[in-house]
């Protein structure tokens, strides 16, 4: 079995590549390095031999190999990430996250066995039902969220039109080792770890009462492997991938302040496009995929701090 991981040099993709390598699965990575983890070249030394192609996932060098039926499964993780960046750059992000993904999908028709798409909980918008079931109506509040929602819909259509085996995994607030925090668009945990490491103030957006169903990256990887090994046929189904537990920004900041008493916390405005609360209902993922999150938020936080050498 050979698989293709788009965005395999990034945070989530590299963690999946490591697991695939550990399982002895022949893996090809396509990544243009625009959102790669900064230590990717060092990371490559920690995995068994993988083929890495420095290119966009929609380049002919990748599409031609797909058309030759080389890959059993495509894990499509590559994207221009972050809600706030998509608000600032709606055309650029739509071009990559929707149009180029459609080009990739077209090449996959009749040429692969399964397409596993990395979607996002942002498709729900500010969901009123918590925990949020997977059949909750979508209400994207940013271009990024709409782009993910659009591809989800397209996968359902491709399954109907071309009998393509497709599935969408809706990630909830992923964090963990390999996620750097030195960008204005970094997620909260990585940004705070970066700030502590570099003696910088920690930014608190709004009131800090925003709550998130934070999901450690190992749980995300597990869901992808479960999807790869699923014995049936997917028809564009969607699954929440999270822990069905929540933590507020203030709780995390309080924990960090107790651990590092000298840190400074700086107040800032709410970020545009962000929602106040996320909490997943993962019952369908457990039942259909056999998914079971094995790492809680606080366990994951300890592992993340250790990766940052902050223990």
List per-block mean pLDDT (blocks of 10 residues) for the chain, which spans 311 residues: 97 96 96 92 86 97 98 98 90 98 98 98 90 96 96 98 98 95 85 96 95 97 98 98 97 97 94 84 98 97 97 82
pLDDT of residue 273: 67
Q: DSSP secondary structure string, 80-121?
A: ---HHHHHH-HHHHHIIIIIIHHHHHHHHTTT-SEEEEEEEG
Q: Does the domain made of 2-172+217-242+276-294 have the CATH classification 3.40.50.720?
A: yes
Which burial class, exposed, middle or buried, applies to 189 when counting CB atoms under 10 A from its CB (0-12, 13-18, 19+)? Answer: buried
Q: Which residues lie below 8 Å from residue 36, measured CB to CB, with a gap of 6+?
A: 9, 10
Q: Which residues lie below 8 Å from residue 269, measured CB to CB, with a gap of 6+?
A: 205, 206
Q: Quick one: tokens of 169?
A: 């995994």
CB 218 within 8 A of CB 12: no
Rounded to an integer, what distance in angstroms lies between the CA atom of residue 133 and that of residue 119? 15
pLDDT of residue 185: 67
pLDDT of residue 183: 79
Of 226, 214, 186, the closest CA to residue 202 belongs to 186
Rounded to an integer, what distance in angstroms lies between the CA atom of residue 10 and that of residue 217? 12
pTM comes to 0.95
Beta bridge partner(s), residue 293: none
pLDDT of residue 35: 87
pLDDT of residue 275: 80
């Amino acid at each position: 079995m050979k698989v293709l991981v788009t965005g395999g040099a990034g945070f989530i993709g590299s963690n999946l590549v490591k697991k695939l390598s550990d399982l002895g699965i022949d893996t090809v990575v396509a990544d243009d390095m625009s959102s790669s983890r900064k230590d990717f070249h060092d990371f490559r030394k920690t995995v068994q031999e993988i083929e890495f192609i420095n290119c966009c996932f929609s380049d002919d060098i990748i599409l031609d190999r797909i058309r030759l039926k080389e890959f059993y499964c495509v894990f499509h993780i590559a994207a221009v990430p972050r809600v706030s960046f998509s608000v600032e750059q709606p055309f650029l992000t739509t071009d990559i996250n929707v149009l180029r993904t459609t080009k990739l999908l077209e090449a996959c028709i009749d040429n692969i066995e399964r397409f596993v798409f990395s979607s996002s909980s942002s498709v729900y918008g500010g969901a009123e039902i918590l925990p949020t079931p997977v059949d909750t109506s979508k209400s994207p509040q940013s271009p990024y969220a709409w782009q993910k929602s659009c591809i989800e819909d397209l996968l359902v259509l491709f399954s109907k039109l071309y009998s393509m085996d497709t599935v969408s995994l809706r990630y909830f607030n992923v964090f963990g080792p390999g996620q750097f925090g030195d960008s204005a668009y970094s997620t909260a945990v990585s940004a705070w770890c970066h700030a502590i490491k570099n003696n910088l103030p920690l930014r608190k957006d709004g009131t800090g009462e925003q709550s998130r169903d934070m999901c450690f990256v190992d749980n995300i990887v597990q869901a992808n492997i479960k999807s790869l090994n699923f014995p049936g046929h997917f028809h564009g189904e969607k699954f929440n991938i999270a822990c069905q537990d929540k933590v507020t920004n203030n709780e995390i900041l309080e924990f960090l302040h107790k651990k590092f008493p000298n840190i400074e916390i700086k107040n800032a405005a709410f970020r545009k496009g962000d929602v106040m609360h996320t909490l997943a209902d993962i019952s369908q993922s457990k039942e259909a995929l056999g998914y079971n999150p094995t790492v809680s938020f606080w366990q994951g936080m300890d592992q993340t701090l250790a990766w940052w050498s902050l223990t």
